[in-house]
Homo-oligomer: A and B are copies of this chain.
Amino acid sequence: MADWKNFDKLEAFGKLKAVKPVKLQEVMSGESGAKRVKTYSVPMAAGLNYNYAAKAVDEETIDALKALAEEAQLTDKFEELYNGAVINTGEKRMVLHHLTRGQLGNAVNADGGDKREFYIGEQKKIADFANKVHNGEIVNAAGEKFTTVVQIGIGGSDLGPRAMYLALENWAKKNDCFKMEAKFISNVDPDDAAAVLASVDVAHSIFILVSKSGTTLETLTNESFVKDALKKAGLDPSKHMIAVTSETSPLAKSADYLQAFFMDDYIGGRFSSTSGVGGAILSLAFGPEIFARFLEGAAAEDKLAANRDLLKNPAMLDALIGVYERNVLGYPSTAVLPYSQALSRFPAHLQQLDMESNGKSVNRFGEPVDYVTGPVIFGEPGTNGQHSFYQLLHQGTNIIPLQFIGFKDSQIGTDVEIQGSTSQKKLCANVAAQIVAFACGKKDENSNKNFEGGRPSSIIIGDSLTPEALGALLSHFENKVMFQGFVWNINSFDQEGVQLGKVLAKKVLAHETEGALKEYSDLFEI
């Protein structure tokens, strides 16, 4: 059994604080910089590489991080997790999202069966359903094929699947495996559902209701919204809807759905993209084979995360460098900057993944911690961000670590050559340039044009954004967040911080308010 200790009780934390700071401007200059780019690189799955040359670390730092990984027993804890220990101490649950894409350790039994078998079974059910929709066995009342799939879900049932869909939409179109257009309804703002419904042909649409508990108010509200629209169009909602939920939820055996697909309490919403939550919509949109390739990429990356050697474990290395930046260097936020328009909503997914998992102030035993935990995560695709908030990243008064992502090739392949280079080359040239600009800076007599540098970044670089590469990317960040939670000794798998707002909103709607809450309700004329 691993020993769960607070971060500040580890000897390795003290040693890490004593490490000599690395001057990025110096080490990234000249031959030293060239050597770092060549050697500070860890292979990932699906042809990706994690390159940390432009992080403010050196061999001494890495040694200290190795010691930290060992003393914090990160690999042992991950092993316990994938072997079915109750890692989610708050909700007293196992944490099994890795099992949706592979078997890293022992069989895990629960709810009367082998969980890996259970997840595979649901994947097969989904694949079967998707194939029947695609080949016309499952059709609408008029006997016509469905052309569109609309996911109704919020938070983890929305951001991850939406980001993954957008990431592969153009790839699928290019590679002749685009089956159905996907749309998403998430917000309880009625304009969200109304606008999406106005943009689709409901008679040829399948709606996926995604709620683990079957009680998420926004999702149930939007389901009613959709049912109303279907009825108004003279359609039978139960012939247009499927559910992704838990077997114990009220939706599980309802006649309101064509079919229900199951997940369980061992998969948190923000870790559910590789479960049926992502599986149903991605299988319908691109075909089950593509979803399977996405899972393979994630599974291969998970294997690397189980590696005890820090320099062969990119997720753990990324996690520990992040901890060093957060707890020793004192940086409060991290920017995620994919140089790929297809990853336009990937930062929003990572924002949830990271901030909901590690935005905690108590340890896994409920005791307050005396150190900072999860940072603020934000980001937009490059080069767009360069013409926006990069000003602050380059010359602002705070240092913000950067996570670049880039690919040699575009997804669609249509390109144009201007001033001697293609758009894709320009895109890649920009990310290369930014890394060096941030790290090294540039002296200028005009202080307004002076760049101090010393602004750390890493890059995940690949050939192109394929389903496998996307799966590997997703897994990398899920495991990074998990390892950071282990170091901080917090429970990354619950989210009690979202409960109070729910309770108060119910009071408002029931008109059981007083004081400030009543006055705010009055302002909105509730």
The answer on a CB contact under 8 Å between B508 and A380 is no
The answer on a CB contact under 8 Å between A427 and B188 is yes
Complex Cα gap A319–B209 (Å) = 42
A333 at the interface (CB under 8 A from B): yes
A112 at the interface (CB under 8 A from B): no
A217 at the interface (CB under 8 A from B): yes
Which among B28, B359, B447 is the interface contact of A389 at CB below 8 angstroms?
B359
The answer on a CB contact under 8 Å between B447 and A367 is yes
Given A520-B432, A523-B51, the answer on whether A391 and B497 have CB atoms closer than 8 Å is yes
Q: Which of A14-44 contact B (CB under 8 A)?
A: 28-31, 33-34, 36-38
A387 at the interface (CB under 8 A from B): yes
Q: Which of A419-433 contact B (CB under 8 A)?
A: 419-433
A187 at the interface (CB under 8 A from B): yes
User: Which residues from B are CB-within-8-Å of A54?
Assistant: 516
A361 at the interface (CB under 8 A from B): yes
A356 at the interface (CB under 8 A from B): yes
Complex Cα gap A509–B29 (Å) = 20
Q: Which of A387-416 contact B (CB under 8 A)?
A: 387-398, 400, 406, 408, 410-412, 414-416
The answer on a CB contact under 8 Å between A339 and B396 is no
The answer on a CB contact under 8 Å between B424 and A461 is no
Closest to A220 in B: B418
User: Which residues from B are CB-within-8-Å of A189?
Assistant: 339-341, 381, 383, 410, 423-424, 427
A192 at the interface (CB under 8 A from B): yes
A240 at the interface (CB under 8 A from B): no
The answer on a CB contact under 8 Å between B423 and A509 is no
User: Which residues from B are CB-within-8-Å of A398?
Assistant: 332, 372, 376
Complex Cα gap A217–B387 (Å) = 11
The answer on a CB contact under 8 Å between A451 and B516 is no
User: Which residues from B are CB-within-8-Å of A193?
Assistant: 414, 423
Which among B169, B391, B416, B461 is the interface contact of A495 at CB below 8 angstroms?
B391
The answer on a CB contact under 8 Å between A496 and B449 is yes
A467 at the interface (CB under 8 A from B): no
Choose among A218, A378, A448 the residue with the greatest number of B CB atoms under 10 Å from its CB.
A448
User: Which residues from B are CB-within-8-Å of A440?
Assistant: 516
A111 at the interface (CB under 8 A from B): no
How many whole Å from A98's CB to the nearest CB in chain B? Answer: 22
Choose among A155, A222, A382, A498 the residue with the greatest number of B CB atoms under 10 Å from its CB.
A498
The answer on a CB contact under 8 Å between B386 and A190 is no
Complex Cα gap A341–B225 (Å) = 16
A224 at the interface (CB under 8 A from B): yes
How many whole Å from A76's CB to the nearest CB in chain B? Answer: 24
The answer on a CB contact under 8 Å between B501 and A430 is yes
A505 at the interface (CB under 8 A from B): yes
Given A155-B384, A391-B356, the answer on whether A408 and B187 have CB atoms closer than 8 Å is no
Which of A58-66, A286-294, A302-310, A347-355 lies at the binding interface?
Answer: A347-355
How many whole Å from A339's CB to the nearest CB in chain B? Answer: 7
A368 at the interface (CB under 8 A from B): yes
How many whole Å from A416's CB to the nearest CB in chain B? Answer: 5
A249 at the interface (CB under 8 A from B): no
Complex Cα gap A367–B448 (Å) = 8
A186 at the interface (CB under 8 A from B): yes
Complex Cα gap A129–B227 (Å) = 43
A142 at the interface (CB under 8 A from B): no
A3 at the interface (CB under 8 A from B): no
A67 at the interface (CB under 8 A from B): no
| Binary CB contact string for chain A from 513 to 526 against chain B (1 if under 8 A, 0 otherwise) | 01111111101111
User: Which residues from B are CB-within-8-Å of A175?
Assistant: none
Complex Cα gap A424–B371 (Å) = 40
A342 at the interface (CB under 8 A from B): yes
A446 at the interface (CB under 8 A from B): yes
Which among B356, B397, B501 is the interface contact of A437 at CB below 8 angstroms?
B501
How many whole Å from A237's CB to the nearest CB in chain B? Answer: 13
Complex Cα gap A368–B446 (Å) = 11
A507 at the interface (CB under 8 A from B): yes
Given A408-B524, A440-B516, the answer on whether A170 and B154 have CB atoms closer than 8 Å is no
Closest to A379 in B: B378
Which among B38, B192, B387, B396 is the interface contact of A269 at CB below 8 angstroms?
B387
Complex Cα gap A484–B170 (Å) = 42
A158 at the interface (CB under 8 A from B): yes
The answer on a CB contact under 8 Å between A29 and B392 is no
Complex Cα gap A421–B508 (Å) = 11
The answer on a CB contact under 8 Å between A187 and B383 is yes
A434 at the interface (CB under 8 A from B): yes
Can you identify 10 A-B contacts, CB atoms within 8 angstroms? A33-B519, A34-B514, A186-B384, A188-B430, A193-B414, A355-B389, A359-B394, A393-B497, A432-B526, A433-B507
List the 5 shortest-distance A-B pairs measured between CB atoms, nearest first: A359-B392, A155-B387, A33-B516, A433-B504, A37-B519
